[in-house]
Chains A and B, each alone.
Chain A
């Protein structure tokens, strides 16, 4: 078995890595200054010029970049290469306002594929594997990213996209897929379908790479059990490149950031001060080697912690712990911060399926929280009292986790729509 996709870089001593980052950063900042007038104006507006940046240690002098900046840049403003050099776009799944368009040159695609190939190898893949990509293909980066990574590694790649479960399972059994790449909610759904149809003995899956959605450790265990695999997390954002900005290794104690391509900082989301290593804050990324769409100090809105410690896998890249949830996903209900991942963790811990829907509304100026949960055979008996008792237990467990009351509705199995890309878990009817 292969341990690394690019051993020299992935296991580079920290000192050497730091100087590589510095060298690449200086090139990247010159590139945006010279080739992207919008960036230059942004830097000038905050009183920084290229001369002020002597090394990567001066990065904190640079202004932050936000999703709104990128939205305003629609369609071309933040482009740092002529369109004739660009070969592809991808786009975010924004439902409100303008989408963010990310541009890629051949070099940028290459770099992204490389990141995904590293993630695949870290999940135990080599060229003999059959990689089943059930992320959506199209503007969404999930399908394109893992597809590219799998090509790069030389695996037989099945560009399945999501949906059409019958075909997914047919190819999975007939072609012997060994690595599954999709959203965690779709993996859970495929697991359910495989077990329902009694196909567990016919599948050859050994590992899965799941991302693009927040998911809990409990959900990981659930997926691992239902598919009989080891489940790996992967992280990325279209704004930075796509999946593969960071990835899990066999130790599964955080995701290694591809630091030769992306420089990570943690800042206080309110004061924007850079926080010392080990403190929780907002994750900020700077690309080090992108041509068409470089990002300097991009605020991800993800709240997490960076860990610099030796990893048993031998990689020297810093690790980020699983984000507690995107501040985008975070709901403020009755003044309390609620992450869908907290609700999911309670459901699984109480023996329910991870398929749920959160409905938030405002009645008489007060927020209401309703959670629809599917009934499962494990929780069902002929005794109404027992079923009601279990429901009550779930309500108190949710109260203990969230600090606020949630009304639980037990609904028929499969009545909550399964996601084919990202799950629609939250319906916020408040008109704020």
Chain B
């Protein structure tokens, strides 16, 4: 499934991540996934939320630098070898994974994973 992910620029400074979660909490927005990629000086927080338009608005309003882009959310069986099988199919289909992380809202013995890949349509067909 294709969903919209919000990325936020983060300076490597004490309390920066909390500032962002605070802005979202004040607006009553629920986070369903969160991932951080960082260098020594700065990082990118990638999030999935229940209300993308509202979250983008409040973040920009608070002066954050924000970028919104599509990512794929894939359900993976939450059992031994579940992720391994999925990654094998992706590798066989020659799909390049730019990054991936997991969400917090897996249910019914399934884990939901977020993928950023070079061929999103193919990924949807493959798994």
Query: Could you tell me which A residues sit within 8 Å of B by CB distance?
Result: 375-377, 380-384, 387-388, 409-415
- Which residues of B from 63 to 102 have beta carbons under 8 Å from A? 63-67, 69, 98
Is there an interface contact between A382 and B9, defined as CB atoms closer than 8 Å?
A: no
The reply to whether A380 and B9 form a contact with Cβ atoms under 8 Å apart is: yes
Q: In the assembly, what is the distance between CA of A409 and CA of B67, in Å?
A: 20
**Min CB–CB distance A347 → chain B (angstroms):** 16
Interface assignment of B39: CB less than 8 Å from any CB of chain A: yes
- Given A410-B42, A412-B16, CB of A380 within 8 Å of CB of B67: yes
Minimum CB–CB distance for B114 against chain A, Å: 11
Complex CA gap A380/B11 in Å reads 13
Q: How large is the interface on B (under 10, 10 to 19, 20 to 34, 35 or more residues)?
A: 20 to 34
Contacts A375-B42, A388-B39 hold; do A382 and B5 have CB atoms under 8 A apart? Answer: yes
Which among B13, B64, B67 is the interface contact of A381 at CB below 8 angstroms?
Answer: B67
A–B Cβ pairs within 8 angstroms, 11 of them: A380-B66, A382-B5, A382-B44, A384-B37, A384-B44, A410-B9, A412-B9, A412-B13, A412-B63, A413-B64, A415-B11
CB distance from B104 to the nearest CB of A (A): 19
Q: Identify which of A384, A409, A411, A415 gathers the most chain B CB atoms within 10 Å of its CB.
A: A384
Contact A412 B11 (CB under 8 A): yes
Complex: chain A residue closest to B66, CB-CB: A377
In the complex, the chain A residue whose C-beta lies closest to that of B7 is: A382
B42 touches A380 (CB 8 A): no
Cα separation A414 to B65 with both chains bound (whole Å): 10
Decide yes or no: A383 and B98 within 8 Å by CB, A412-B9, A412-B16 being known contacts.
yes
Q: Check if B67 sits within 8 Å of A410, measured CB to CB.
A: no
The yes or no answer to B112 lying at the interface (CB within 8 A) is no
With A388-B39, A410-B41, A412-B9 as given contacts, are A382 and B46 in contact (CB-CB < 8 Å)? yes
Interface string of B1-13 (1 = CB under 8 A from A): 0000101011101
Q: Is the CB of A380 within 8 A of B7?
A: yes
- State whether A411 and B11 are in contact (beta carbons under 8 Å apart), knowing that A375-B42, A382-B5 are contacts in the complex: yes
B96 smallest CB distance to A (angstroms)? 12
Tell me the minimal C-beta distance from B28 to chain A in angstroms: 23
A224 to B39, CA, bound (A): 35
Distance in Å: Cβ of B113 to nearest Cβ of chain A:
16
**B11, A382: Cβ atoms under 8 Å?**
no
- Residues in B neighbouring A384, C-beta threshold 8 A: 37-39, 43-44
Q: How far apart are the CA atoms of A93 and B98 in the complex, in Å? A: 52
Expressed in whole angstroms, the minimum distance between the Cβ of B90 and any Cβ of chain A is 19
Complexed CA–CA distance, A376 and B44 (Å)? 13
Cβ A375 vs Cβ B41 within 8 A: no
Kindly list chain B residues whose C-beta atoms are within 8 Å of the C-beta of A376. 65
**Given known contacts A375-B9, A411-B11, is B65 in contact with A380 (CB within 8 Å)?**
yes
**Most chain B CB neighbours (cut-off 10 Å) among A375, A376, A409, A412:** A412
Query: Which partner residue on chain A sits nearest B5 by CB separation?
Result: A382
Q: Which 5 A-B pairs have the closest CB atoms?
A: A382-B7, A412-B11, A384-B37, A375-B9, A380-B65
User: Is A413 touching B116 in the complex (CB atoms < 8 A)?
Assistant: no
Contact A414 B63 (CB under 8 A): yes
A414 to B11 Cα, complex, angstroms = 12
Nearest Cβ on chain B to A416's Cβ, whole angstroms: 11
Chain A residues within an 8 Å CB radius of B98: 383
Query: Would B46 and A375 count as touching, CB distance under 8 A?
Result: no
Instruction: Say whether A375 contacts B7, CB under 8 Å.
Output: no
Chain B residue contacts of A411, Cβ below 8 A: 11, 42
Chain A residues contacting B39 (CB-CB under 8 Å) are 384, 388
A410 and B10 CA atoms in complex are apart in Å by: 10
Q: How far is the CA of A382 from the CA of B117 in the complex (A)?
A: 12
> A413, B7: Cβ atoms under 8 Å?
no
- Kindly report which residue of chain B lies nearest to residue A381, judged by CB atoms: B67
Residues of chain A with a CB closer than 8 A to B116's CB: 382
- Asked if residues B41 and A409 are in contact (CB atoms below 8 Å), the reply is yes
- Minimal beta-carbon separation of A376 from chain B (angstroms): 7
